[in-house]
């Protein structure tokens, strides 16, 4: 008889909200780096989220989350801010300026915000999947390996000595060096520089999008993890910030193979950091979950009872609340998926969340002072009074002053 403890779908949702840092009592409570003998970062120990403020709290949240989607700059900042009460966009900028967090491609060819010390070991662990397709991409772009080498050489020289560049100024350097390059090459070259650990997006002068710098110059205390240690760390950190997950969730999120993901969670289990759970009413592998040991212990002791506070949230586009999993049924009715990702094009809209479940989308008005417009999903109701504190928190984070809320009609209504 299977002795694996089981949880209900409602408990699954509560545990995920706690791990995601979206329940008030959970902020700063889930695991950060697993500091073990021989694997500690070279610099001072990171400040725990519960003891930090301002830029340090932003960095602690990024560290606890392991990685948050970063392709949309505004959304990435709020993904940190919504989990770091009392912080502002200036604190996010300061965390970048201090070298505490960086923006780069840690896995699956997608840009994320990560703690500076983590980007290197994550890339070394996952690069074998994403870099394997690069030659075919260059062939499609019409870029030879010799030209790529020259672009990398010129870029590295331009970034030497602590210099920084944005995309435009770096491309101008290529032109000045006499390189004939095509406009559709720029993304690939910058991705290649970052994906190989040569560069990262670091300083954020004036709060603008971070600029490219040499990783070796910018990251003061990189963690050195490899092999099974890195695999276990990835599984423990990912699960610690997502709650109960399936192996396929880790495989998709990290870009690793299912076999590697299975090995990673098994290693986390051997360390005693991860434990198996089963989802009630779901047979086979679809019902097999892994959870942080401390989170599971609390759930089994309390039945994961209690409310999901705050009951209303305004989450950014691409938030890990949905992006952290392949199976999002606990957080979102599958029938509404295309309203969150129109046309299934991979572009996740910002979401209004009630008691952990997505009930609408929202956007900022195009005119100054126009406020936030919330569009309910079919069959859902939006409580503007309930959302008001979250709108005020969003406004305080962005420094916009009073931000009115309104209901926008859904498409076709």
CB 189 within 8 A of CB 155: yes
Quick one: which of 92, 60, 94, 100 has its CA closest to 75?
Answer: 92
What is the C-alpha separation between 32 and 99, in angstroms, rounded? Answer: 18
How many Cβ atoms from other residues are within 10 Å of residue 78's Cβ? 22
Per-residue pLDDT of the chain (413 residues; tens, 9 = 90+): 468 889 999 999 999 999 999 985 443 344 444 434 333 333 334 445 456 679 999 999 999 999 999 999 999 999 999 999 999 999 999 999 999 999 999 999 999 999 999 999 999 999 999 999 999 999 999 999 999 999 999 999 999 999 999 999 999 999 999 999 999 999 999 999 999 999 999 999 988 999 999 999 999 999 999 999 999 999 999 999 999 999 999 999 999 999 999 999 999 999 999 999 999 988 888 899 999 998 777 666 655 455 566 689 999 999 999 999 999 999 999 999 999 999 888 899 999 999 999 999 999 976 666 799 999 999 999 999 999 999 999 999 999 988 899 999 875 55
Residue 56 Cα distances to 42, 59, 66, 87, angstroms: 18, 5, 15, 10
CATH topology match: 1-39+225-308 vs 128-218:
yes
pLDDT of residue 346: 84
pLDDT of residue 307: 53
CB 60 within 8 A of CB 45: no
CB 17 within 8 A of CB 360: no
pLDDT of residue 306: 54
E runs forming strands in 335-378: 351-354, 357-364, 372-376
What is the C-alpha separation between 178 and 42, in angstroms, rounded? Answer: 41
Which residues have a Cβ under 8 Å from the Cβ of 332 and sit 6 or more positions away? 322, 340, 357, 358
CB 189 within 8 A of CB 131: no
What is the C-alpha separation between 354 and 360, in angstroms, rounded? Answer: 9
Domain 128-218 matching CATH 1.10.10: the answer reads yes
What is the C-alpha separation between 413 and 410, in angstroms, rounded? Answer: 6
Which residues have a Cβ under 8 Å from the Cβ of 403 and sit 6 or more positions away? 371, 372, 391, 392, 394, 395
Residue 275 Cα distances to 228, 326, 406, angstroms: 18, 20, 44
What is the C-alpha separation between 221 and 225, in angstroms, rounded? Answer: 13
DSSP assignment of 13-61 equals HHHHHHHTT-SGGGTTTS------TTT--SSSPPPPGGG--HHHHHHHH
Q: H or E stretch including 102?
A: strand 101-107
- Name residue 363's beta-bridge partners: 373
pLDDT of residue 31: 44
Work out the end-to-end distance of the chain between its first and last CA atoms, rounded to an integer number of angstroms.
Answer: 51
Please identify, in words, the CATH class of the domain defined by 1-39+225-308: mainly alpha
pLDDT of residue 27: 39
The structure's pTM equals 0.90
**DSSP conformational letter for 343:** G
pLDDT of residue 401: 85
CA atoms within 13 A on the CB side of 107: 21
Query: What are the helix (H) ranges across 241-314?
Result: 247-254, 258-270, 293-302
Residue-range domain boundaries for the chain? 1-39+225-308, 128-218, 332-407
**Tokens, residue 186:** 């720029």
Residue 343 Cα distances to 333, 337, 359, 404, angstroms: 16, 9, 19, 29
- Name residue 314's beta-bridge partners: 352
pLDDT of residue 378: 95
């Amino acid at each position: 008889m299977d002795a694996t403890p089981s949880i209900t779908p409602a408990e699954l949702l509560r545990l995920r909200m706690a791990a995601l840092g979206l329940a008030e009592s959970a902020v700063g409570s889930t695991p950060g780096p697993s500091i073990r003998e021989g694997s500690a970062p070279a610099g001072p120990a990171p400040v725990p989220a519960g003891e930090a403020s301002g830029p340090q709290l932003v960095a602690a949240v990024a560290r606890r989350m392991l990685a948050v989607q970063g392709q949309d700059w505004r959304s990435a900042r709020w993904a940190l801010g919504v989990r770091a009460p009392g912080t502002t966009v200036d604190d996010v900028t300061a965390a970048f300026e201090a070298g505490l967090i960086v923006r780069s491609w840690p896995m699956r060819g997608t840009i994320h915000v990560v703690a500076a010390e983590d980007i290197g070991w994550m890339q070394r662990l996952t690069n074998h999947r994403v870099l394997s397709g690069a030659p075919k991409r260059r062939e499609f772009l019409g870029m030879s390996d010799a030209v790529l080498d020259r672009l990398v050489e010129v870029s590295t020289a331009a970034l030497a000595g602590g210099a920084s560049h944005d995309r435009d100024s770096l491309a101008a350097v290529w032109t000045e060096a006499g390189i004939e390059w095509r406009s559709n090459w720029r993304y690939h070259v910058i991705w290649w520089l970052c994906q190989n650990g040569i560069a990262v997006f670091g300083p954020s002068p004036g709060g603008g999008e971070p600029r490219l710098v040499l990783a070796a110059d910018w990251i003061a205390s990189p963690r050195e993890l490899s092999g099974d240690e890195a695999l276990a760390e990835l599984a423990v950190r990912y699960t610690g910030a997502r709650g109960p997950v399936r192996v396929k969730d880790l495989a998709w999120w990290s870009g690793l193979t299912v076999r590697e993901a299975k090995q990673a969670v098994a290693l986390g289990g051997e360390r005693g950091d991860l434990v198996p759970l089963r989802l009630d009413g779901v047979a086979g592998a679809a019902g097999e979950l892994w959870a942080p040991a401390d989170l599971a212990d609390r759930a089994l002791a309390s039945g994961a009872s209690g409310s999901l506070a705050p009951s209303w949230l305004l989450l950014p586009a691409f938030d890990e609340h949905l992006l952290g999993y392949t199976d999002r049924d606990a957080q979102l009715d599958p029938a509404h998926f295309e309203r969150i990702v129109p046309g299934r094009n991979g572009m996740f809209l910002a979401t209004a969340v009630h008691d952990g479940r997505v009930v609408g989308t929202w956007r900022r008005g195009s005119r100054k002072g126009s406020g936030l417009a919330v569009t309910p999903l079919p069959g859902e109701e939006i409580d503007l009074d309930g959302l008001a504190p979250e709108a005020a928190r969003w406004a305080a984070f962005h420094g916009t002053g009073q931000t009115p809320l309104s209901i926008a009609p859904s498409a076709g209504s």
